Amino acid sequence: MADEVTMALLELLRKAGADGEVDFLREGVRVLAEAVMDAEVTQQLQAAPHQRTPDRTGQRNGYRERQWDTRVGSIQLQVPRVRDGSYYPTLLEPRRRAERALLAVVQEAYVQGISTRRVDELVQALGLTGMSKSQVSRLCTELDAEVARFRSRPLVGPYPYVWLDATYLKVRVDQRVVSQAVVIAIGVRASGEREILGLDVGASEDGAFWLQFLRGLVARGLAGVQLVISDAHQGLRSALGAALSGASWQRCRVHFVRNALALVPKSAAQLVAATIRTVFAQPDAASTREQWRRVRDGFADRFPRLTALLDEAEADVLAYLGFPTEHWRQIWSNNPLERLNKEVKRRSDVVGIFPSTGAVVRLVGMVLAEQHDEWQTGRRYFSVESLAKLQPAAAPALPAAPAS
């Protein structure tokens, strides 16, 4: 390998001397990266290209192009492919887990003979033909263990803010395709960093499901919650009152506006939405509440159902007013979790219909684990100074809603 790398670099030097436009640094990184990948595949397969040995564990299957963003620019790599799809370069490690999980889901669907056309096309593109059920099982077992560790790790709080949301994915259960709820929780620690708290998958998001999910988070260490931000999910209010007694509930303003628009004619939707949003443009709590009532009174004659919703939801939609002004934009909606859900959907759309509930947990768990790691090394979501303004008694207790 050393001789091949040396020859490649000498050839690069020759080109750089003959053509001043060659980006030597970028090309040098490409040459070294591809040499490293070839060496990794050789070690994994226990055989060099075209070499047959008694210890050989698999076969190469050409290359696929992959863009690699580096500090010297974007580089197009020729990534070696292994016939069973088990190789992934260590130099691309930051995105390795989720891609391996997606690969495992695709493989599982393929070997069970229930893949869709999209999965079939992906199998061919990745060169995954010739897989065995035992190979897929080994890979799935390894990934499932990683996800289990992530989902069961202790939570070290306090977590003053928690966001909850659910999305739905298609899953094959007992030979039928059904829609299953994927619930995700994220939180902010007192030090300002965001964290993925947990996920679960169930047939529905009723009160019992939410209660089990929240109690699981509490058992792992979730504590110090002052505000929970979510949409008005079925059964969630009663579960919050039972599992997180003493926390306030912020009804997502974005979802609330959507609910409000469903109660007015389409011709009035744009006006209604713009008018409601004026509430959230106010600089302080007193003017915000005053504007809410002004908006409510303005709609009273034309839209009685909307007026009833405004009366019912006022305290929940304006719960953010009891917290530091610097936090309002982040805590008055579920947008932080909506962006995460979009990433989950982007990955899951490749699969279409998941072959099992375990496959959902595997892929979503790996996507969330990667995001969790990125948040730990990124900037704080809130400053420590602004979080210090939170007082344990600042938020009124959440009244227990009747069981649904």
pLDDT digits (tens, 9 = 90+) for 354-382: 888 888 888 888 888 888 888 877 788 88
- Does the pLDDT value for residue 107 go beyond 80? no
229 or 367, which is more confident: 229
Give pLDDT, residue 238.
84
Q: What is the pLDDT of residues 284-293, one digit of tens each?
A: 999 999 999 9
* Distance from C-alpha of 189 to C-alpha of 221, rounded to nearest angstrom: 12
335 or 73, which is more confident: 335
- Residue 80: partners with Cβ closer than 8 Å, 6 or more residues away: 37, 38, 41, 60, 62, 63, 87
Torsion of CA 358, 360, 363, 369, to 10 degrees: -90
Task: Give the mean pLDDT of 288-305.
Answer: 94
Six-digit token string for 379:
């900037």
Lowest pLDDT segment from 14-18, 85-89, 186-190, 221-225: 14-18
Give pLDDT, residue 222.
94
112 or 326, which is more confident: 326
Amino acid identity of 346? Answer: R
Q: What is the pLDDT of residues 236-249, one digit of tens each?
A: 888 888 899 889 99
Inter-residue long-range contacts of 139-145, CB under 8 Å, 24+ positions, other chains counted? 139/86, 139/100, 139/103, 139/104, 139/107, 140/104, 140/108, 140/358, 140/362, 143/97, 143/100, 143/101, 143/104, 143/362, 143/366, 144/358, 144/361, 144/362
For 196-235, where are the alpha helices, taking DSSP H only? 207-220
Mean pLDDT of the chain: 79
Q: What is the pLDDT of residues 304-351, one digit of tens each?
A: 999 999 999 999 999 999 999 999 999 999 988 888 888 888 777 767
41 or 97, which is more confident: 41
- Residue 198: partners with Cβ closer than 8 Å, 6 or more residues away: 151, 184, 185, 213, 216, 217, 220
Q: How confident is the model at residue 153 (pLDDT cuts 50, 70, 90)?
A: very high
Backbone angles phi, psi at 146, to 5 degrees: -65, -45
* Distance from C-alpha of 249 to C-alpha of 162, rounded to nearest angstrom: 10
- Does the pLDDT value for residue 264 go beyond 90? yes
Backbone angles phi, psi at 74, to 5 degrees: -80, 135
Q: How confident is the model at residue 124 (pLDDT cuts 50, 70, 90)?
A: low
Q: Which among 19-28, 224-233, 339-348 has the top mean pLDDT?
A: 224-233
Give pLDDT, residue 284.
94
Q: Which among 142-151, 317-326, 378-387 has the top mean pLDDT?
A: 317-326
Task: Give the mean pLDDT of 8-37.
Answer: 60
- Does the pLDDT value for residue 141 go beyond 50? yes
What percent of the chain has pLDDT above 90?
Answer: 34
Q: Measured at the alpha carbon of residue 402, what is the angle toward residues 401 and 404, in degrees to the nearest 5? A: 110
